Structure 1
Amino acid sequence: MSNTVILWSMLILPWFTLFFMKKEEIKRYMPAALFSSITSMVVVEYGQTFHWWAVYETIYPLRTTIPYLLGLVPIITLWLLRFIYGHFWLYMGIDIVLNYGFLTIFLAFLANRGIMHSTMSELAFVSHASVHGAIIYLFQIWQEGIFVRGERTNFSTNLQPAVAKPLQEKQDNQQDNAKE
């Protein structure tokens, strides 16, 4: 299998897993997934500048971006938040395990294929990635606050003035007795 096929599959195939997620969950967690993708791109650019890793091969329209940043990263973030959002320490534990697995399995695979190479120590890599995961979690907490506030200020469009509302029978009788 060529490196180009591997890179394209890292970009496209993860998105097909969203067919197994509810539409409401996708809407709820997609902002954090996109945030993780964008901030990961910034981290990769930062790492290339400081020679922590080098990218040797990409695909045509994404000349400087690694395709997994637009495929695997947001989708893994969606699934991670979908299953364990609300349990911060469990989230951090699983995030650390996934970051270590990403380093030892996935990054090693990419290095063997000549796609990219990392010169960062394992501890530094996992630490940076875990801090990034905590920032994504905090972003999702902030997003949840926006949604709660939006629900509280949502008004019905079927409002009528008080004069147009029919009175209940007890109120009718009380008003008639007050007039007499």
Structure 2
Amino acid sequence: MSNQVILWSLTILPWLTLFFMPKDARKRFMPVAQFSIITSILFIEMGQTFGWFVWEEAAYPLKSPSYIFGSNTVATIWLFYFLYGRFWTYLAVDTVLNFGFIYLFHVYYLGNRGIFHEVSLDPLLNVIYAIIIGILLYGYQMWQEGIFASTEAKSTSHVTNLQPAATKPLPESHKDNDDK
């Protein structure tokens, strides 16, 4: 199988799994997945600039590793779907997934296919960076949850009967007033 087919498969196929997730959960965790894309691209840009690793091939016409837009994003959504609200469990599972991803996928699989090579970054340090990014993502999701706080809280306003003009009922004389 060609590297391009593998790279595009890692980008497109994971999105199909989201059909098995409730729509509300996809909407809830999409912002943290987008933040995951941003932090991952920033880390890759730094890694390439500082010579930590080299990406020999990317899914044409992209320059960044395409799995960031597919499998990485979707894995983030699923991870938060199952584990958000249980930080220590999230951290443990994220750490195990990071070890597997860095050592098995990056170093072994992509390295053997000539797609990715670590130059001056030890895989263990790469895992530590990934764990730090995972903690940032969890903090971001906590912040997002605060933004979408329920509106059922009682108003602190002393004048609760005020309504916008658009919600006031029309007087009886204006009801059923058609242009005749």
TM-score for both structures, normalised by structure 1: 0.82
Which residue does the alignment assign to 2:128?
127
Note the alpha carbon deviations across 1:28-59, whole angstroms, 9 max, x for none. Answer: 00000011011101100101111111000012
Which residue does the alignment assign to 1:91?
90
Deviation at 1:123?
Answer: 2.2
Deviation at 1:122?
Answer: 2.7
Q: Within 5 A, what are the aligned runs for 1:1-180?
A: 1-62=1-62, 64-107=63-106, 108-119=108-119, 120-148=121-149, 152=153, 159-160=167-168
Matched to 1:106, the amino acid is F
Distance 1:152 1:43 in 2: 40
Q: 1:112 to 1:150 in 2, by over 3 A?
A: farther
Deviation at 1:6?
Answer: 0.2
Matched to 1:88, the amino acid is F
Distance 1:36 1:150 in 2: 28
CA contact (8 A) 2:32 2:137 kept: yes
Q: 1:143 to 1:2 in 2, by over 3 A?
A: same
Gaps in structure 2 of 5+ consecutive residues? 156-162, 173-180
- Structure in which a larger fraction of residues adopt helix: 1
RMSD between superposed Cα atoms in Å: 2.3
Considering only CA atoms, is the larger Rg found in Structure 1 or Structure 2?
Answer: 1
Note the alpha carbon deviations across 1:62-95, whole angstroms, 9 max, x for none. Answer: 1x21000100111000000000000111111111
Which residue does the alignment assign to 1:168?
none
Matched to 2:34, the amino acid is L
Distance 2:140 2:132 in 1: 12
Distance 1:26 1:151 in 2: 23
Gaps in structure 1 of 5+ consecutive residues? 165-180
Matched to 1:99, the amino acid is N
Runs of 4+ in structure 1 deviating by more than 4 angstroms, as ranges, are 149-154, 156-161
